[in-house]
Amino acid sequence: MGRKKIALIGGGQIGGIMALLAAQREMGDVVLLDIPEKENVVKGKMLDLTETNPLFSSSSCLTGTKNYADLAGADVTITTAGLPRKPGMSREDLLNINLQIISEVATNLKKYCPDAFHIVVTNPLDSMVFAFMKVSGLPKHKIAGMAGVLDTARFRSFVGMELNVSPKDVSALVLGGHGPTMVPLARLATVGGIPLSELLPQEKIDAIVYRTREAGTEIVNLLGSGSAYFSPATSAIEMAEAYLKDQKRILTCAAYLNGEYGITGYYIGVPAIIGAGGVEKVLEVKLTDSEKAALNNSLEAVKKAVAETKL
Ligand code: APR
């Protein structure tokens, strides 16, 4: 059983941190790919990281490249390639640019890593993971979007902050698309096994739900330029590790639905078992009428975004 190979497409903020995490956890060898203009940047980042190996006692080989051929045989790929939204750029402009980038990435990954588990992080997430599936034509359960792990982690963090307890002991589930229509299922959240509703009044829970939905924007506003990177990077690596180590973890991610939750033909955030088979199973949870309505509302937003890709 040789070393695992992790291909990171997009060597920006998230890509760099994912390389660091993968090396620290000694998940395998890591190749970081970016556009030709950034070739030296990714080579520099990976050399810098290589020099941390003795300090972290890691043996991972870390390389930067502009050539997809160097990704050949990767076990897992994580795509963050894309442009961030700039002032004056409409959502449609961003979608069209990132759609082109994702199409190029998907075509190359199909060629060089057809057997890998592919994780898409580029925003707008719900339509980009759909586009990756359409363009690559790769098996739908071997492609997933990273959103739910992050949205859930945000919810758990806010609960921990509010109760002054470790977020490790907070369990929660956030369904739906990656955006303001997401559906944090506060009803099912527990803290050390105790229902959240027994520990916090409804208005505090509502405030946490609201903050979770807006958490990405809150960070964008604080940073001034760019978007969150530590938490998205850690979330995507969590998914990659579950696949590489066949952990059968239940992680919420944008998974392709085939009738689950009454939805067919779309990627949307649901709890899924991730193991060596990729997305091995989508878990269904009984929803209340209002939760169903909220999920449908989120699905409509996802459908609209997917329709804009014209795929
Ligand atoms: N091929 C490979 N890499 C590309 C391509 C391409 N065609 N086009 C752009 N990139 C690279 C950029 O050069 C840049 O280095 O993608 C990288 C993106 O990095 P950042 O701009 O730093 O963005 P980051 O914060 O990492 O976020 C990446 O993830 O969460 C989402 O909304 C976020 O869509 C964004 C993505």
Map out the domains of the chain as residue ranges.
5-145, 148-309
Q: Are 7 and 76 in contact (CB under 8 A)?
A: yes
Distances from the Cα of 63 to the Cα of 37, 239, 298, angstroms:
16, 21, 39
Question: To test ligand 1's pocket by mutation, which of 8, 9, 34 has the most ligand atoms within 8 angstroms of CB?
Answer: 34
Ligand 1 lined by 11 (C-beta under 6 Å) = yes
Q: What pLDDT, on the 0 to 100 scale, is given for residue 20?
A: 98
Q: What pLDDT, on the 0 to 100 scale, is given for residue 85?
A: 75
- What is the percent of the chain where pLDDT is above 90? 94
Instruction: Write out the H or E segment, with its range, that includes residue 145.
Output: strand 143-145
Look up the CATH architecture of domain 148-309. Alpha-Beta Complex (3.90)
Q: Whose CA is nearest to atom 28 of ligand 1?
A: 80
Task: Tell me the average pLDDT across 219-226.
Answer: 91
Given 3.40.366.10, 3.40.50.720, 3.30.565.10, 3.30.1490.20, which CATH number is that of 5-145?
Answer: 3.40.50.720
What are the pLDDT digits (tens) for 47-59? 999 999 999 999 9
Distances from the Cα of 249 to the Cα of 64, 79, 153, 240, 274, angstroms:
30, 21, 15, 11, 5
Question: To test ligand 1's pocket by mutation, which of 32, 42, 80, 229 has the most ligand atoms within 8 angstroms of CB?
Answer: 80
* 178 labelled catalytic: yes
Task: Tell me the average pLDDT across 198-218.
Answer: 96
* Ligand 1 centroid – CA 259 distance (Å): 33
Residue 311: which pLDDT band, with cuts at 50, 70 and 90? very high
What is the pTM for the complete model shown? 0.98
What are the pLDDT digits (tens) for 132-183? 999 999 999 999 999 999 999 999 999 999 999 999 999 999 999 998 899 9
Q: What pLDDT, on the 0 to 100 scale, is given for residue 199?
A: 98
Residue 207: which pLDDT band, with cuts at 50, 70 and 90? very high
Residue 1: which pLDDT band, with cuts at 50, 70 and 90? low
Q: Whose CA is nearest to atom 5 of ligand 1?
A: 81
CA distance 135 to 64: 25
Q: Whose CA is nearest to atom 25 of ligand 1?
A: 13
Same topology, domains 5-145 and 148-309? Answer is no
